[in-house]
Every structure is written in structure tokens, then in C-alpha cells.
Amino acid sequence: MTGSPQPVPLSRLQQVVLVIVSMALAIGLLLMRGDIQSETPTEQLARRSIDLEVALTNGTPTIIEFYADWCQVCREMAPAMLELESSTRNYLDIILVNVDNPRWQGLVNRYEVNGIPQLNLFSADGQLCGRSIGLRQPEELLALSTALINERSLPKLQGVKSSVGLEQ
């Protein structure tokens, strides 16, 4: 007689081993889940961003980063921006604005965003004092933020323009 082979029932020992292995795998996955970042640095920063009007009126210097999810340079710069946000919390506000989100189109137009990543740099009194377009290395981000926090002139870096000629 032809047909499919009949399954062989598992022995009691095999059943116990299978249950133990399954439980160990489940526990391992739960433990690992705490170590895995489910959000990208950009998503973390965007989620933590405060309202722009609050940032520009709370007496703290502000950096607005205009970015897009598809932008490789934006993704490359994101870990350094996240580190900057963590290390300057309470001294500097960092706000992320996704240029592809229609909600932000007015802001994109207002600040004439024509390249990303674009950083708009604001003094503690909410005045636009500079703009940076393109990739910034961690040490450049630190230099820009230090200048803003200490109310000093922006460092002379390629791709950074001071407020002269910039309109809000």
C-alpha cells in the first residue's frame, strides 16, 4: 500500500527536550530584544524634538536639521547628531524636520531648504545665525554647537554660512 509515511510519536524525553529548547529560545529572544535598537538614530531624534516655536523662545540655542529618510548623508550623520543631542541636552535644542512630510512644507519654504542635510543654527534669542548644508563630522557638529552655546561666532567651515545674507 502506498501513501504517506505515518508520523512517529515523540517519546516523553523528546517532548521535554523540545519544550525546554523552545522556552530557552523564547527567553533568549526576549532578552535580546532589550539590546536591539528598534528605532534609527534619526527616528529617535525626530521623536524627541520639541516644538519649533518653543525651542526658538525658551532661551536655548537651537539647531534645526532638515533631512529625508532616503538621504544617505542624513543617515550617516544621524548617530553624531544623536550623540550631540544627548551630550548637550538642556543647553541646546535639536529639532529634526523631514522635508518629505507635507506637515513641514511651510518650514521648508520659509528656510529655503535646497539641499539636505541642512542645519539652521539659531542663537539663544531665536535669531537665525547660520546655515550648514551637507555632511558634518562629529567634531564639526561639536564646534558649531559649542559656538552657539557660548554665544560665539560660528567656526569657518566649508558649507557653513553665517547670518549675513540669511533671512528668517
Task: Say yes or no to pLDDT of 34 above 70.
Answer: no
Answer yes or no: is pLDDT of 164 > 70: no
| Domain contains 9 | no
Q: Which amino acid is at 10?
A: L
Q: What pLDDT was estimated at residue 2?
A: 59
| Residue percentage of the chain with pLDDT more than 70 | 88
Quote the number of domains for the chain: 1
Widest pairwise Cα distance in the chain: 91
pLDDT higher at 143 or 43: 143
* Over residues 83-101, mean pLDDT: 93
Smallest Cα–Cα separation from 40: which of 70, 11, 17? Answer: 70
Q: How far apart are CA 136 and CA 77, in angstroms?
A: 7
Averaged pLDDT, 15-41: 70
Instruction: Mean pLDDT check: name the lowest of 42-56, 89-103, 137-151.
Output: 42-56
Would you say residue 11 lies in a domain? no
Contact (CB, 8 A) for 42 and 76? no
Percentage with pLDDT > 90 across the chain: 58
* Cis peptide, bond prior to residue 5, ω within 30 of zero: no
Residue 142 corresponds to which cell in the numbers above? 561639536
pTM score: 0.73
CATH label of the domain that carries residue 124? 3.40.30.10
Say if residue 94's pLDDT is above 60: yes
Q: Specify if 24 maps to a domain.
A: no
Bridging pattern class, strands 93-98 and 62-67: parallel
On whether residue 167 sits in a domain, the answer given is no
| pLDDT higher than threshold 60 for residue 26 | yes
Q: 125 lies in a domain? A: yes
Provide the domain limits for residue 50.
Answer: 41-162
Q: Is residue 139 part of a domain?
A: yes
**Considering the domain boundaries, does residue 73 fall inside one?**
yes
What's the alpha-carbon Rg for the chain, to the nearest Å? 25
Whether 148 is covered by a domain: the verdict is yes
User: CA–CA separation, 164 vs 32, rounded Å?
Assistant: 51
Sign, CA dihedral 114-119-125-128, equals: negative
Rounded CA gap, 79 and 83, in Å?
A: 6
* pLDDT for position 168: 43
